[in-house]
Structure 1
Amino acid sequence: MASIYERALGEEFGRLHPRIRERFGFGSEDGVASIGAGVMHRIWASKWTALPLLIGTSRHIMFPESGTEIPFTIENYAYRDGYGRETVTWNRHFTFRSKVRHFDATMIYSSRRRRIVDYLGNKQHLAVDLELEAAPNGGIRIRSSDQRFYEGWLQFPFPAGLTGTAEVCEWFDDAEDAYKISVNVSNPVFGPVFGYQGTFRAQLVPCGRTDIPDHAKPLREELRE
Structure 2
Amino acid sequence: MTSVFESALREDFGRLHPRLRRRFGVDGETDQGCVGTGVMNRVWRGAAFTAPFLHVGTLRHVLFPETGTDVPFTIENYAYRDTYDRPTLTFVRTFQVRSHRRRRFDATMVYHPERDVIIDYLGTTQHVAVDLDVSVDSAGGLRIRSGPQTFRGGFGCPAALTGDAEVHEWFDDKAERFRIQVTVTNRRFGPLFGYYGSFTANYIRAGAPVPAAVRPLRENPRG
Normalised by the shorter chain, which TM-score bucket? over 0.9
- Aligned match of 1:63: 64
Which blocks of at least 5 consecutive residues in structure 2 are unaligned? none
User: How many Å separate the matches in 2 of 1:113 and 1:165?
Assistant: 20
Q: CA RMSD in A?
A: 1.2
Count of aligned positions:
221
CA-CA distance at 1:207 after TM superposition: 4.4
Is 2:103 aligned against 1:72?
no
User: How many Å separate the matches in 2 of 1:123 and 1:78?
Assistant: 18
- Aligned match of 1:3: 3
Q: TM-score, normalised by structure 1?
A: 0.95
CA-CA distance at 1:162 after TM superposition: 2.5
User: How many Å separate the matches in 2 of 1:62 and 1:207?
Assistant: 31
Which blocks of at least 5 consecutive residues in structure 1 are unaligned? none
- Aligned match of 1:119: 121
- Aligned match of 2:17: 17
Once the two structures are superposed, the pairs formed by residues 1-225 of structure 1 within 5 Å of their partners are: 1-46=1-46, 47-97=48-98, 98-150=100-152, 154-208=153-207, 211-225=209-223
Structure 2 residue identity aligned to 1:17: H
Q: Is the 8 A contact 1:28 1:86 kept in 2?
A: no
SS in 2 for 1:186: strand
Structure 2 residue identity aligned to 1:5: F
Q: Is the 8 A contact 1:28 1:80 kept in 2?
A: no
Structure 1 residue identity aligned to 2:207: G
SS in 2 for 1:42: strand
User: How many Å separate the matches in 2 of 1:74 and 1:195?
Assistant: 15
User: How many Å separate the matches in 1 of 2:66 and 2:94?
Assistant: 13
CA-CA distance at 1:62 after TM superposition: 1.2
User: How many Å separate the matches in 2 of 1:145 and 1:92?
Assistant: 21
CA-CA distance at 1:186 after TM superposition: 0.7
User: How many Å separate the matches in 2 of 1:161 and 1:112?
Assistant: 29
Structure 2 residue identity aligned to 1:179: F
Moved over 2 A (4+): 28-32, 159-162
Q: Is the 8 A contact 2:38 2:72 kept in 1?
A: yes
Q: Is the 8 A contact 2:29 2:206 kept in 1?
A: no
